[in-house]
Structure 1
């Protein structure tokens, strides 16, 4: 399969509910599901390269295939924008993932469940995996936390907040890609072709009278709750995140950009010493966050999961 199928699940919220889109790769009835959840301003097509690699490797093995599911978190990609912007927070996203997993289970039963979470997607994963009593189809077997941990560096939060919500308007795909690269150089080296592939799902057409034909895909209102975060509040939240991390039963792999400003070496090391005692793999020349496009990054995840 060279293209994923686009599907939707209805999720509850404080208003009238919303539809969350998800992209599905591989064998639709496979009992082995890998859920890949993206970062704060991104969307599910970020995982195209990884998903194809996982499907190819699983299809060539005796297991007979895999189902890779990549949601567009609410307010991003093809998913609905929320009526109440205060719903753009990790606990609500985690509830949406439970709805998605129940939906996937109803379509075809799950016997093996793995989770790959980049940045925000990793925080959502910690919420889901760190509370054993949640109604999952099966416990998460393996968890990949991509450049995120229970302690987040405040300077990185400030850096992200400086551009979050500026959805921009662009006259061409290349103009949009160039603008995104200026705030994404920490992702590490990419060929022009790789960056264009990552950029295409990040833009949407706007109405003809808007003055420019393209904008970024996400609801600018996702910045609202994020900007309410204070340094003191972030420090207070650390204790909760560490408690969740300590509750994780899944075998855990932490990926870290060696130049990351969000996940410090000290936090990554602490994650190897407590809770699931994660294994850490670092990628030189990469900051926050590895895009899982480079061959060594894909191999690290595929080797761990399969």
Structure 2
């Protein structure tokens, strides 16, 4: 169906970067320490991808049955547009969560870190209750906290831990950088939808900060991301400054936000910020690999 294709196209800018970026960043510091494990990295990516797609389906379902997608500015939604029934979308969400859980169990079995099962369970619960349940925290302005913690700190540090058996200060700095970039995608998304969210009573961080405050917050996050990338370079190798190639995408995205762009004009910001996240993580990975193999 063409409409389903449109849904996939709309979800892609945030899905692939959000899944691949933390794995690349976490693998970067693992490689720098001489502990890179390809099998574990691939499983970590499968977990992240399954959870990210599951979140997209879960949000589509929960927002759709609440009616918050009836006057949507951004890409179409399956339930809100009538392209798929709520039951099908809900089943797709839980199917993705199950796939992520299975991949996670395999990863835990290989590494022997069984306490990570609890972390995985927390990730799935957080993914569902972002917009699901009677009191979704995404409707209370806490969505950015979820994204920062689970798609930044947990995903990056977890990727390093399953390979290296420990985390480093560089890992933490990288996880903050990736978490901030993931947050910026959501900030731009909520800024785009700020008018509609106010009308349906969805109290996102954007509706709480207001239009001008949200734009300043996005710009501040851009500055903090750069600082975190410099911190990773200080803790590892100056080759890690390759991560600043993200500015090719992040600078125009920030400029657009600060220019006062609204509605559909902000859709490009989502894509640019997603590419910035991917460029940042790839730069970190390549930088640490170059240093590890002795190219100085």
TM-score (norm 2): 0.31
Structure of higher RCO (CA pairs closer than 8 Å, 6+ residues apart) = 2
Structure with more of its chain in helix, by fraction: 2
